[in-house]
A and B are shown apart, each in its own frame.
Chain A
Amino acid sequence: MKITGAEILIESLKKEGVDTVFGIPGGVVLQIFDALYNEKDLRFILTRHEQGAAHAADGYARAKGKPGVALVTSGPGATNIVTGIANAHMDSIPIVVITGQVATRMIGNDAFQEADIVGITRPCTKYNFLVKDVDELAKTIKEAFYIASTGRPGPVLVDLPKDVSGARTDFVYPEKVSLRSYNPTYYGNKWQIKQAAQAIVRAKRPVIYAGGGVILSKASEALKELAEVNEIPVTLTLMGLGGFPGTHPLFLGMLGMHGTYAANMAVHDSDLLIAIGSRFDDRVTGKVTEFAPKAHIIHIDIDPTNIRKNIHVDTPIVGDVKNVLTELNKELKAFEESRGQGIKERKPWHAQIKAWEEEHPLAYKKSNKTIKPQYVIEKIYELTGGDAIVATDVGQHQMWVAQYFKFDRPGTNLTSGGLGTMGFGFPAAIGAQIACPDKLVFNVAGDGSFQMNVQELATAVLNKLPVKVAIINNGSLGMVRQWQELFFNRHYSGSILDGTPDYVKLAEAYGAVGLRAKSPSEVERVIKEAISIKRPVVMDFVVDPEENVFPMVPAGGANADMIFEEASQGEKEKGTGKKGRKNSVLPA
């Protein structure tokens, strides 16, 4: 029986196990929406902006570990979704985006709502397709999901012209995909793995530095085994948080620009750095020439372009992180007998790390008058028992979550790491809540970021998604304000958020619940109440507007030269760093 391209699309999505599609309709996708009309097995979630649809699909993918799907119209629908695609691209998140396109014979004519979305998204997708023939459609969808979810995952866009979704053909869904030009390397080179094992056995001051690849490849257990058996301390990137338990005694905290002193010092002094599913991002390395200067570097990554892109690597291993770690753990078993001795020789290293941890633990100046943002994060952690998915936006609050929420499980830390997209958190939380209906889902938001996708309150309310938004309301684009304070003579140019709405009333206007805490004593009550309400809740935490994120490596500086907040622990000397700076008073 011949069915339409629109129906083929829906059937193909179902074959891929898709249960939810996020998006917004429009002229050229009407046929597809018509096919969705009576569809029982596919849930369509109408977002209020296409960016929201992409981030929701992305949040869904991160929480569920399988591709998220978005469907939007041509032209403005397609261009609106680009930020969401770029975001998924930078963080290697598998999403499949279907965009409508004007009819094939109109393409290139500047037709109404035409945009060359394949051209526009070429550099920010893993791959994209323009389907010109309905007979190609099923195969294309199969390939789209295959490419999005294998190798180093990423977003794939399928541009579907109106006439193609209207044309009819027989539906045959291919069983397999074979692409002669796409063959990711899944298994590491045996010899290199052996080299790595030997380096690990020899090392006196080893550190593991792991990133989002551990989560994407579902390698947390293998990582834990590597760390525990060989007693190697672990630091994680922002994207890696949750890939190794945040409460584990071997965990050093995050590294990099706002990482812990212990993590940055340990990497700096290490004689062996084992980089796993991480890519030496500039926010991680600081000044590259002073990053892990004494270390032999092992780098395990599925994407060969990540290796030696920013930094010299001594032992490169291309492969799926989980496979490589499993092999490496096996290889290390050969050294079982000598292990005890090696571990003994590392005692001074562990002692040194402990000393660093004690010298500069993460700290902030507590207050019983104003709410400290870090206190809010600590309380959320405490009151959820850490058993929550936390999506963040971008800015200071994001860093405080990374520092103070101890993620124990993969897929619970949803953050925009690579692109740093304000407005990511709330729609991502919505996607995660749909993926995991029984989980407690928080969005820790900045007041600036929240306003970028606040319209999705309607989506949350309508779909009865009990997402808890915790706005860290500091009245400013805090991270920008912090940099201006520290490096631009306190010229708060464009960073003060005057004219912000009353978030409680705003929540209520959408039919959500609004709660507010203005003093530290109210924080706990507000969080508890929010958790007890099985509806979307917006919590407005009116926090200290001058709080800064510390420690901090100034952009381009070396990680070993961190600055600390003086005020946080009284006058303190710093490791090898420069003097910390005093907080300023904001202009009225």
Chain B
Amino acid sequence: MQHIINILVENKFGVLSRVSGLFSGRGFNIETISVGPTLDPSMSQMTIITMGDERIIEQIIKQLNKLIDVIKVVDLSEKDYIVRETALIKIHTSRPEDRGEALRITEIFRARVVDSTPATYTIEITGDENKIDAIINLLRPLGIKDIVRTGKIAIAREEMKAVALQEAKKIRA
């Protein structure tokens, strides 16, 4: 089963290689990995998508926790979460009718054209994997020149109860 694991790490030299080395050294696989800063500049946030049965995922999480530079590990798959990735898709649009078609598709998917030349459009789309795969499939007949996809990032959905409580607090304050 696919798991989405968020890892809060020390923002230090070599940490990415400690994490990726753990996966390669123990034969765990990484489908996507993304790393970015957090509000606290001394920490970074990684999101790793990996596959494995329950026993493997348990080991992955334990092994990650064991790394000295890892501060916190959360398996989002146990929770309700939002996952997103972004793709930049460059398509051929030399024929006028292709330009029209491309714009229509872009609109339907609420994507954006972020660069345009007489012969190409570059489209930016953000969404879950299904949405991105779907737009790619529709754009394919026009002729795709290049695609770049980010890894996935994910965040737990706030529980409704907690939200309600916060709202209540705000009102009281």
Q: Do A and B come from one complex?
A: yes
By a beta-carbon cutoff of 8 Å, the part of chain A in contact with chain B is 118-119, 122-123, 126-127, 130, 147, 179-182, 303-305, 307-309
CB distance B21 to A304 under 8 Å?
no
**Complexed CA–CA distance, A114 and B67 (Å):** 26
Chain A residues with CB under 8 A of B70: 181
CB distance B59 to A309 under 8 Å?
yes
CB distance A122 to B17 under 8 Å?
yes
Select A308's contact among B21, B55, B69, beta carbons within 8 Å. B55
**Sorted from nearest, which 10 A-B pairs have the closest CB atoms?**
A305-B62, A181-B71, A127-B68, A304-B62, A123-B25, A182-B68, A305-B63, A305-B66, A122-B21, A123-B21
Interface residues of B in 43-101 (CB under 8 A from A): 55, 58-59, 62-63, 65-71
**Complexed CA–CA distance, A181 and B44 (Å):** 13
CB distance B58 to A126 under 8 Å?
no
How many chain B residues touch A (Cβ–Cβ < 8 Å)? 20
Chain A nearest CB: distance from B7 CB in Å? 11
For residue B18, CB closer than 8 A to chain A, the reply is yes
Nearest chain B residue, comparing its CB with the CB of A127 = B68
CB distance A126 to B68 under 8 Å?
yes
Chain B residues with CB under 8 A of A119: 17
Question: Could you list some 8 contacts between A and B, CB below 8 A?
Answer: A122-B14, A127-B68, A147-B68, A304-B62, A304-B65, A305-B62, A305-B63, A308-B58
Nearest chain B residue, comparing its CB with the CB of A318 = B62
By a beta-carbon cutoff of 8 Å, the part of chain B in contact with chain A is 9-10, 13-14, 17-18, 21, 25, 55, 58-59, 62-63, 65-71
Chain B residues with CB under 8 A of A147: 68
Chain B residues with CB under 8 A of A182: 68
**Complexed CA–CA distance, A119 and B20 (Å):** 12
Select B14's contact among A118, A179, A305, A308, beta carbons within 8 Å. A118
Chain B nearest CB: distance from A404 CB in Å? 37
**Complexed CA–CA distance, A130 and B15 (Å):** 12
**Most chain A CB neighbours (cut-off 10 Å) among B58, B62, B63:** B62
**Complexed CA–CA distance, A130 and B67 (Å):** 17
Chain A nearest CB: distance from B108 CB in Å? 45
Chain B nearest CB: distance from A367 CB in Å? 47
CB distance A303 to B66 under 8 Å?
yes
**Complexed CA–CA distance, A126 and B69 (Å):** 11
Chain A residues with CB under 8 A of B66: 303-305
Nearest chain A residue, comparing its CB with the CB of B9 = A181
**Complexed CA–CA distance, A180 and B58 (Å):** 22
**Complexed CA–CA distance, A119 and B21 (Å):** 10
Chain B residues with CB under 8 A of A309: 59
CB distance A305 to B59 under 8 Å?
yes
Nearest chain A residue, comparing its CB with the CB of B24 = A123
**Complexed CA–CA distance, A122 and B16 (Å):** 12
Chain A nearest CB: distance from B135 CB in Å? 39
**Complexed CA–CA distance, A182 and B21 (Å):** 19
Nearest chain A residue, comparing its CB with the CB of B17 = A122
CB distance A179 to B21 under 8 Å?
no
Chain A residues with CB under 8 A of B25: 123
